[in-house]
């Protein structure tokens, strides 16, 4: 088989904090999902080139109560491990559960209900199974005696882990206090993973905060309990030293997890961002991959240049039969298959059936409910990640508003305050198309819609702008407005998530029996970096 190259990011759009494990000939990868539901998407690959989503680790309401959580709360930084026929995920649910562990025999699921780990005080837990049968949990935690010596001062701590009974044992060990060089006051040592190789224990961690100064660093020790010595050439991965004005930049790289492939080659998955200008990006933190080499007893990222590349060679071939998560792809859903495509996400835990693929076969029918996307409950919202700097999402909708509070349409959602909503509604008894910026009406335009006829909506991203259009007939797009994209960027809006395109309906706090049917949905990428 001749070598090809994989395309970065390997998971485009909001797929942050990747963790990877290998089980025999199979690789599994998971990501943070915050307040989106189901939680913790699970991906599978045979060759590290072709990735397919096979499920979610937390897809039952009793596993994941997200009611009342802000969109950037919920599930932070999971880690997946495989040992003796069992898969383990440890994670932090920051609002209610704290740190927990879940297990499965099959990573497709079902995964167990969470077992809380109350002694683990911190975030970013990761399990490590040693060759002598012992296992450990490492995590980011508070400074010694909770005395912060500088802003961002954190520690890496460890407990022995009882894998049979899913609980910690023994006493907590302090592995790293502060980071690589405490004289320089390093910030946010986190995202730890342990590796045992050639008689050394390697502790790889993120450092520098999850923004522009993000990096990956490594320590090693002859004992799992330390002392751990910092590598003199740290950081082993960062892009913070590069010219921000470079073409098609990837920034904020870090939070890496390592895997050895079947041939003895090493790779790391990690998060990165693709800004369209400065530190402005809307697609969130994405999953990248790069080769790793071992030199003089230390791991090094083999980027081929200081700048992370959009592709690296790999001994695998693209499988064109599977749905793409990277590169310039077109996703199109005619809603003719049951169940709903696994790629969609809901905002917080779904506890009642408000969407249907069978009420109007060939379309997705959403029930109008009082919940709104600006609240902290579960609205009638079916989201798909914005995976590009340039591209669009579009949908076809059939809807007759019965009152002015009833709305149905296409949402571009970053968080509860920062979103744009292109929708159909009613004003003075007449159908209107409305465009909202957050909860304020930006414009309203009367349209003549024949009852029962389709209306088409489109949101087009182009770097720092979103263009909104509608059509009464397919592909006869009428420009409505172009709005500021930076308002939906992480830099402006804050938080840890990326933008979602969503089919969204609401009755805005009032009861309703109305529904809206979406006849198809599509999202297309057209990013420049992939044209090279």
CATH number at residue 381: 2.60.120.200
Is the residue at 340 inside a domain? yes
Residue 320 lies in a domain: no
Q: Which residue has the tokens 């997200």?
A: 66
**Do both 308 and 341 map to the same domain?**
no
190 belongs to the catalytic site = yes
Predicted local confidence at residue 1, as pLDDT: 40
> Cα 2 vs. chain centroid, distance in angstroms?
32
Count Cβ atoms within 10 A of the Cβ of residue 372 and give its class: 0-12 exposed, 13-18 middle, 19 or more buried: buried
Within this chain, do residues 260 and 354 fall inside the same structural domain, yes or no? no
Question: How much helix, strand and coil, in percent to the nearest 5, is found in the chain?
Answer: 5, 50, 50
Going from the C-alpha of 420 to that of each of 255, 443, 485, the distances in angstroms are: 31, 11, 10
Any domain includes 237:
yes
- Whether residue 369 sits in one domain with residue 275: no
Beta bridge partners of 425: 432
- Among 283, 314, 345, give the residue marking a domain's end: 314
pLDDT in tens, the chain (532 residues): 446 999 999 999 999 999 999 999 999 999 999 999 999 999 999 999 999 999 999 999 999 999 999 999 999 999 999 999 999 999 999 999 999 999 999 999 999 999 999 999 999 999 999 999 999 999 999 999 999 999 999 999 999 999 999 999 999 999 999 999 999 999 999 999 999 999 999 999 999 998 899 999 999 999 999 999 999 999 999 999 999 999 999 999 999 999 999 999 999 999 999 999 999 999 999 999 999 999 999 999 999 999 999 999 999 999 999 999 999 999 999 999 999 999 999 999 999 999 999 999 999 999 999 999 999 999 999 999 999 999 999 999 999 999 999 999 999 999 999 999 999 999 999 999 999 999 999 999 999 988 889 999 999 999 999 999 999 999 999 999 999 999 999 999 999 999 999 999 999 999 999 999 999 999 999 998 876 4
My answer on whether 138 and 271 are in the same domain is: yes
Based on the domain organization, do 266 and 200 belong to the same domain?
yes
- What's the CA gap between 322 and 269, in Å, rounded? 21
Per the domain annotation, does 322 fall within a domain? no
For every residue of 309-366, DSSP letters joined together read PSEEEES----TTS--SSSS-EEEE-S-SSS--TT-BEES---S--EESTTTTTSEEE
Q: What is the CATH number for 83?
A: 2.115.10.20
Q: Is residue 321 part of a domain?
A: no
Looking up tokens 């949101």, which residue turns up?
459
Domain coverage including residue 510? 330-531
Give residue 255's Cα distance to chain centre: 13
Q: What per-residue confidence (pLDDT) applies to 256?
A: 98
Would you call 371 a catalytic residue per the annotation?
no
Please report whether residue 325 resides in a domain: no
CB contact burial 11-40 (16+ within 10 A = b; e otherwise): bbbbbbbbbbbbbeeebbbbbbbbbbbbbb
Both 345 and 238 in one domain: the answer is no
Classify residue 493 by its DSSP letter. H
- Tell me: do 291 and 386 sit in the same domain: no
Residue 299 and residue 344 in one domain: no
Q: Of these residues, 93, 124, 190, 406, which one is catalytic? A: 190
- 313 contacts 289 by C-beta, under 8 angstroms: no
DSSP state for residue 98 in the 8-state scheme: E
For residues 309 and 335, membership in a common domain is answered with no
32 and 125 part of one domain: yes
Question: In angstroms, rounded to a whole number, what is the distance separating the alpha carbons of residues 471 and 396?
Answer: 9
**The pairing of beta strand 36-37 with beta strand 39-45:** unpaired
Quote the number of domains for the chain. 2
Cβ atoms < 10 Å from Cβ of 339: 6
CB atoms inside a 10 Å sphere around CB 416:
20
Strand ranges in 447-484 using DSSP code E only, listed in sequence order: 455-462, 465-471, 478-484
Give per-residue burial for 174-203: e unless 16+ CB within 10 Å, then b. Answer: ebbebbbeeeeebbbbbbbbbbeeeeebbb
Cβ contacts of 305 within 8 Å, gap of 6 or more: none
Is 175 inside any structural domain?
yes
Residue 138 covered by a domain: yes
Tell me how far apart the alpha carbons of residues 201 and 227 are, in angstroms, rounded to a whole number. 10
How many whole angstroms separate alpha carbon 350 and alpha carbon 204? Answer: 36
What string of H, E and C letters represents the secondary structure of 353-389?
CCEECCCCCCCEEEECCCCCCCCCCCCEEEEEECCCC
Residue ending a domain, choose from 263, 288, 314: 314
> 303 and 450, same structural domain?
no
Distance CA 74, CA 301 (A): 31
Phi and psi based region of residue 107 (left: phi greater than 0; alpha: psi -120 to 50; beta: remaining): alpha
Indicate which residue of 17, 333, 454, 527 is catalytic. Answer: 17
The answer on 336 and 294 residing in a single domain is: no
């Amino acid at each position: 088989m001749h070598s090809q190259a994989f395309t970065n990011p390997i998971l485009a759009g909001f797929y942050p904090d990747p963790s990877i494990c290998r089980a025999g000939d199979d690789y599994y990868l998971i990501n943070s999902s915050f307040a989106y539901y189901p939680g913790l998407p699970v991906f599978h690959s045979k060759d590290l080139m072709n990735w397919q989503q096979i499920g979610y680790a937390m897809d039952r309401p009793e596993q994941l109560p997200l009611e009342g959580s802000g969109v950037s709360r919920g599930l932070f930084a999971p880690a997946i491990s495989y040992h003796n026929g069992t898969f383990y995920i440890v994670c932090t649910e920051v609002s209610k559960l704290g740190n927990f562990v879940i297990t499965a025999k099959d990573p497709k699921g079902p995964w167990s209900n969470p077992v809380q780990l109350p002694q683990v005080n911190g975030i970013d837990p990761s399990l490590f199974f040693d060759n002598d049968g012992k296992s450990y949990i490492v995590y980011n935690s508070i400074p010694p005696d909770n005395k912060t010596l500088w802003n961002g001062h954190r520690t890496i701590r460890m407990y022995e882990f009882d894998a049979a009974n899913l609980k910690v044992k023994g006493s907590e060990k302090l592995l790293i206090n502060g980071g690589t060089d405490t004289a320089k006051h390093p910030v946010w040592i986190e995202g730890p993973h342990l590796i045992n190789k050639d008689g050394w224990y390697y502790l790889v961690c993120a450092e520098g905060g999850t923004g522009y100064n993000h990096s990956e660093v490594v320590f090693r020790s002859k004992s799992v309990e330390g002392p751990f010595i910092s590598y003199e050439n740290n950081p082993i991965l960062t892009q913070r030293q590069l010219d921000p004005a470079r073409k098609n930049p990837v920034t904020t790289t870090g939070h890496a997890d390592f895997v050895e492939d079947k041939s003895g080659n090493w790779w790391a998955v990690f998060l990165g961002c693709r800004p369209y200008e400065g530190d402005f990006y809307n697609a969130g933190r994405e999953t990248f991959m790069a080769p790793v080499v071992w030199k003089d007893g230390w791991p090094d990222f083999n980027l081929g240049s200081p700048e992370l590349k959009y592709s690296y060679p790999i001994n695998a071939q693209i499988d064109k039969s599977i749905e793409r998560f990277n590169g310039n792809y077109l996703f199109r859903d005619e809603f003719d298959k049951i169940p709903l495509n696994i790629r969609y996400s809901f905002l917080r835990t779904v506890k009642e059936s408000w969407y249907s693929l069978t009420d109007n076969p060939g379309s997705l029918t959403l029930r109008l409910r009082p919940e709104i996307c600006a609240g902290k409950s579960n609205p009638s919202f079916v989201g798909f990640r914005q995976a590009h700097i340039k591209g669009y999402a579009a949908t076809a909708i059939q809807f007759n508003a019965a009152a002015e509070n009833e709305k149905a349409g296409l949402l571009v959602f970053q968080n509860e305050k920062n979103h744009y909503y292109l929708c159909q509604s009613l004003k003075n008894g007449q159908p209107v198309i409305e465009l909202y910026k957050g909860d304020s009406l930006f414009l309203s335009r009367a349209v003549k819609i024949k009852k029962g006829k389709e209306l088409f909506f489109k949101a087009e991203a182009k770097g720092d702008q979103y263009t909104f259009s509608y059509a009464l007939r397919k592909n006869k797009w009428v420009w409505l407005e172009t709005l500021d994209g930076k308002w939906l960027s992480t830099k402006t809006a804050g938080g840890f998530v990326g933008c979602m395109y969503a089919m969204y309906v609401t009755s805005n706090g009032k009861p309703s029996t109305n529904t809206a049917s979406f006849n198809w949905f599509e999202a297309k990428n057209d990013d420049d970096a992939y044209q090279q």
